[in-house]
Structure 1
Amino acid sequence: MMDKVLLITGAARGIGAATALLAAQRGYAVVVNYHRQRAAAEAVVAAIHAGGGRALAVAADVSDEVDVLRLFAESEQAFGPLTALVNNAGILETQMRLDEMSLGRWQRVLATNVIGPLLCCREAVKRMSTRHGGHGGAVVNVSSAAARLGSAGEYVDYAASKGALDTLTIGLAREVAAEGIRVNAVRPGFIYTGMHADGGEPGRVDRVKSMVPMQRGGQAQEVAEAILWLLSDAASFSTGSFIDVAGGR
């Protein structure tokens, strides 16, 4: 039986880290990709090793093609053929209206949130598709409820980037369905992660949780559970689909 090998982008913190830890518990060898947060990524790897699992931290900027090629090569060198990919790396910038945003901001957000997943999906398909001699696999894209809701007054550019990710999920799922690859997405809502501080409001979830029908924010672990289900054989007939992990919002 082939080893289960999972590459997770942006896995040093938040949803990515929670997914890495849960995947290791479920028998995956995990490649923990990070961009700048080396210590945090190495802490995730250390926790996996402490639990008897296999993991490796690899620095790479997903918006950089050379970095992505090296990331996939190092993954294969360490653990063998890739069987799963989670496109989790994503950024947002300070809350503001679209008419206050700069071109540079849009280029940064779209480079990481759209070009990054495109590059990683391309490399994963080249390795997993039966058309290329692979054995199949699964991809889960970490989108956002913002793709449905638009994030008016805060992050319209981020929401637009996640809308692009949703479309990529549907299109690629149909493109590679007959080649042994399933492509699905999760759409988290207000989740307690460090990402909100990047937008200038660390306490954002507590401010907005009353807008959620369940009247609370979500935990990264709750999103990780949905991701791991989509990666698993339990979801063997699901592709091009979405799980909203947003408390009913």
Structure 2
Amino acid sequence: MNLLAEAFAWIFSPQRLTGSLPLPTAIAQHLAFTFGSVAIAAVIATPVGWLIGHTGRGRELAVFLSGAARALPALGLVVLLWLVFGVAFKTEAAVAAFVVLAIPSILAGAYAGIEAIDRTVIDAGRAMGMTEWQILFRIEMPLGLSLLIGGFRSATLQVVATVTIGAYIGVGGLGYYILQGIALRDFAEILGASIVVVALALVLDGLFALLARFAVPRTDGPRVRSAASTPALARAPQFSR
């Protein structure tokens, strides 16, 4: 309990507002890396996932790549890309690593959300004379939005935890305090910084949970099959709830 009290005292100490890296600046850096990386991953993965879900082509390859990317060790990937990019491009290397780690969840959420839609709804759209683009934008995207947000949620939690490792190559963020605490054997600093990271993750998770609830479209009847009754979702990577 004394260590926990010291950790909270470290967080709220006036000294956290000064120094080479004030705590608010570290939090801002952490969030900037998180949201920036997830945004880049979304631009890459979302259209590909929608295309796979709409056409039904490439799903096996997407599942394989998603599973393979999830198995990558985060620290090893960050260090590898840092060496590949060059030591002068540590920020670019870190962002590239975070993007690679965020893509699988977003890709799975995008194509699984469309594959989970009841096919009779799509057939009804075609019977009404809707084009494939109209079916994608007016039917599949809105009905698959909830699972896509689930993909964003999982990717964001993955990245917000991994950004901590980025401090190992000197990109700042809350991991800076953890590494500094390890070097100085300051356990209150290590625990305090860890608590802030956990708090950020919980806040972001709560925000995405609320967003997912409001993203479910209101319909007169069931339009999206449950994960248990949908083979595509049963085989796709699952998201944390």
User: TM-score, normalised to structure 2's length?
Assistant: 0.29
Larger radius of gyration: 2
Q: Which has the higher helix share?
A: 2
Q: Name which structure has the greater RCO, CA cutoff 8 Å, separation 6+.
A: 2
Q: Which has the higher strand share?
A: 1
